[in-house]
Amino acid sequence: MPARGATARTDNSQSGLPKGKSSTAPKRHRATLPVDEAVRILTYNVRSIRAHVVEVKRMATGWLKRKVDVIVLTESWLKPGDRTPRLAGYTEAARKDRKQPGSSNEGRGGGVLIYVRDKVGYAVEEINYNCRTIHEGIDYIAINICRSKKRRIQLVGIYVPPNLSDEIWEESILDWDLKNNEKGTVIIAGDINSHGSWSSLSTSAGDRIEDWCAERGLEVLNEPTIPTRIAVTTNREGDRIVQQSSPDVIIMKAVYAARSIWEAYPEESCGSDHVPIQILFPWQQEEGPKNIKYRKKWKLKKANWDMFRDVLNKRCETSLGNICQNMTAQQAYDMLESDVITSLNQSIPKTTRAREYIWWCDEVEAAVKDRKEALKRFRQTCSAEDGEVYEEAKQA
């Protein structure tokens, strides 16, 4: 076993690790400073850390001043045998290279690299997910950031290439069973090259990811109006256009997402067309409510809309016959709402695994919405008045 702080090269035949990939990770990180009550995790698609090492080191200095605790770099483009660049104030926690020597497309893109801030009270240990098969084009590394035996963050850094098919998504990503490792909060950070409600674009893989998150009580924290990739390209007519999308995401348990702050830093760049994104996660003593219940969700993709139309027409005909002259508008609305919900329940199947916490109510949802809108206004105006409104919204 390596000494504390030493780097251990893990065995590629280890269960849960894809064959043909390398991974390094210190088994434990000695702490000399107390852990803050808030944890800051940043992810950035660097597009070759060696090519931009000077700029990345400069950016890391700013991240250290901002008290960023964990850095997840995707598309590191490191090959086996390459030394991991040192970032002042940070220690390499885990590394996954895309290809081993002798592979068909050795050295092409990909790779995940995770750094942890020095002298912070975390123990970093590598964990593995019990997956059946991981496609060789997908790079991921999973680690535990421990504050105690019972309090930990499971952090998964991931890079998925843009040309991955939906079938591979189903077999390699959506097959993950987070329940086996769910002793603390789960955070997934990286570039998944898919788009859903968190982006200005939409893909079928993104829709599947949202369903997968809903079934496991997870939420994508990204702000839909803020892109994480801004690229200048040329269209068919030869005109230069700006493409904005959000392939970089941070996903975590929905119960913690409400009190976490997601931010983007478009002014920070090292030549990549991606934008660093960060969350501030309040790691408080009580990590969440113990009393939970299960909420079933409609599977809209499996809906029988012909049945829905027929059932709703019959119920509405019956309801029209029951309307009396003294009925108020609210009573008529309640009757229509009941008919619609009953018709939906009869024509659309439901999931059984989505969690809903008992304290989540309309007031909490409205407070979260107000906080996001206040943050959006503050980013646009940068005025002191909007800043005060945002601070008040955070305390609500």
Residue 334 in any domain: the answer is yes
- Is 1 inside any structural domain? no
Pairing label, strands 112-117, 90-97:
antiparallel
Flag whether 97 is in a domain. Answer: yes
256 and 312 part of one domain: no
Look at the chain and report how many structural domains it folds into. 3
- The reply to whether 388 and 339 lie within a common domain is no
Q: Are 227 and 216 in contact (CB under 8 A)?
A: no
User: Are 101 and 174 part of one and the same domain?
Assistant: yes
Q: Are residues 377 and 305 in the same domain?
A: no
Residue 291: inside a domain: no
- The reply to whether 370 falls in a domain is yes
Give the range of the structural domain holding residue 119, as residue numbers without chain letter: 8-282
Instruction: Confirm if 188 and 281 have CB atoms less than 8 A apart.
Output: no
| pLDDT by residue, tens only, the chain of 396 residues | 333 333 333 333 333 333 334 454 444 444 444 455 788 999 999 999 999 999 999 999 999 999 999 999 999 999 888 999 999 999 998 898 876 555 544 445 589 999 999 876 566 655 555 555 566 678 888 888 876 666 678 888 999 888 776 666 666 666 565 554 455 678 999 999 888 888 877 788 888 888 888 877 888 999 888 999 988 888 888 888 888 899 999 999 887 888 899 999 998 888 889 999 999 988 764 444 444 445 567 777 888 999 999 999 999 888 888 877 777 878 888 888 889 989 988 998 887 654 455 556 667 777 877 877 877 777 677 777 887 887 788 776
Whether residues 197 and 334 share a domain: the answer is no
Identify which of 26, 25, 23, 24 has the alpha carbon closest to the alpha carbon of residue 5.
Answer: 26
Q: Report the C-alpha gap between 393 and 43 in whole angstroms.
A: 26
Do 168 and 305 share a domain, yes or no?
no
Contact 95, 78 (CB under 8 A): yes
Residue type, position 235, single letter: N
The answer on 276 and 228 residing in a single domain is yes
Residue 142 in any domain: the answer is yes
Would you give the DSSP letter of residue 18?
P
Are 340 and 386 in the same domain? no
Could you tell me if 238 and 377 lie in one domain? no
**Looking at the domain assignment, is residue 316 inside a domain?**
yes
Three-state SS across 229-254?
EEEEEECCCCCEEEEEECCEEEEEEH
Query: Among 94, 181, 195, 191, which Cα is nearest to 138's?
Result: 191
Say if residue 230 is exposed, middle or buried (CB neighbours under 10 Å; 0-12, 13-18, 19+): middle
87 and 187 belong to one structural domain: yes
φ/ψ of 53, rounded to 5, equals -60, -40
Residues in the chain: 396
**Do residues 319 and 366 both lie within one domain?**
no
Do 14 and 139 belong together in one domain?
yes
